[in-house]
Structure 1
Amino acid sequence: MRGLTEAVKHLLIINILFFVATQLYGDQMYAWFSLWYPENPNFEWWQIFTHMFMHGNFMHILFNMYALYAFGTPLERMWGRNKFLFFYFSAGLGAALLHTGVNYYLFNDGLQALLDSGIGKTELMQIITDGKYSPSWETVIGPDKVDSFLSAFSTPAVGASGAIYGILVAFAFTFSEAELMLIFLPIPIKAKYFVPLLILGDLFFGFTGTATGIAHFAHIGGALFGFLMMWYWKKNQFNNNRWN
Structure 2
Amino acid sequence: MSLSGNLIIIAVTCLISWIGFQDRAFQYRWSLNPYQARRKRKYVPYLTYGFVHADFMHLLFNMITLFFFGRVMETVFNAHFAGFGYYLFYLGGIILSILPWALPRRNNPRYSTLGASGAVSAVLFAYILLQPWSMLYIYFIPVPAILYAVLYVAYSMYLDRKGSDNINHSAHLWGAAYGVAFTALAEPGALTSFLGKLMNP
Normalised TM-score (structure 1): 0.68
Q: Give the SS at the match of 2:47.
A: helix
Deviation, structure 1 residue 19: 1.6
Between the two proteins, what is the percent identity of the paired residues? 22
Q: Name the residue aligned to 1:190.
A: 144
Q: How many residues align?
A: 184
Structure possessing the higher radius of gyration over alpha carbons: 1
Q: Name the residue aligned to 1:169.
A: 125
Q: 1:78 to 1:227 in 2, by over 3 A?
A: closer
Q: Any idea what the Cα deviations from partners look like across 1:14-38, whole Å, max 9, x if unmatched?
A: 1111122112221x11331101023
Aligned residues: CA RMSD: 2.3
Structure 2 distance, partners of 1:39, 1:16, is 25
Deviation, structure 1 residue 194: 1.1
Q: 1:219 aligns with which of 148, 172, 186?
A: 172
Runs (5+) with no aligned partner, structure 2: 191-201
Q: Name the residue aligned to 2:61.
A: 63
Deviation, structure 1 residue 88: 1.0
Moved more, 82-91 or 60-69: 82-91
Kept in 2: contact 1:5–1:76 (CA 8 A): no
Q: Any idea what the Cα deviations from partners look like across 1:195-223, whole Å, max 9, x if unmatched?
A: 2321221111101223x110010111111
Q: 2:187 aligns with which of 226, 231, 234?
A: 234
Amino acid in structure 1 at the alignment position of 2:12: I
Q: Give the SS at the match of 1:235.
A: coil
Structure 2 distance, partners of 1:31, 1:209, is 22
Amino acid in structure 2 at the alignment position of 1:164: V
Q: Give the SS at the match of 1:157.
A: coil
Q: 1:39 to 1:29 in 2, by over 3 A?
A: closer
Q: 1:209 to 1:157 in 2, by over 3 A?
A: same
Structure 1 distance, partners of 2:134, 2:57, is 25
Normalised TM-score (structure 2): 0.82
Q: 1:50 to 1:154 in 2, by over 3 A?
A: same
Deviation, structure 1 residue 102: 4.7
Q: RCO greater where, 1 or 2, for CA within 8 Å and sep 6 or more?
A: 1
Kept in 1: contact 2:122–2:178 (CA 8 A): yes
Kept in 2: contact 1:176–1:192 (CA 8 A): yes
Kept in 2: contact 1:102–1:217 (CA 8 A): no
- Structure 1 residue 52 and structure 2 residue 50: aligned? yes
Deviation, structure 1 residue 233: 2.6
Structure 1 distance, partners of 2:104, 2:145, is 28
Q: 1:203 to 1:37 in 2, by over 3 A?
A: same
Runs (5+) with no aligned partner, structure 1: 108-151, 238-244
Q: 1:94 aligns with which of 93, 96, 113?
A: 96
Q: Give the SS at the match of 1:93.
A: helix
Q: Name the residue aligned to 2:163.
A: 209
Q: 1:102 to 1:191 in 2, by over 3 A?
A: farther
Q: Name the residue aligned to 2:136.
A: 180
Deviation, structure 1 residue 42: 7.3
Kept in 2: contact 1:67–1:164 (CA 8 A): yes
Q: Name the residue aligned to 1:103.
A: 105
Structure 2 distance, partners of 1:79, 1:227, is 13
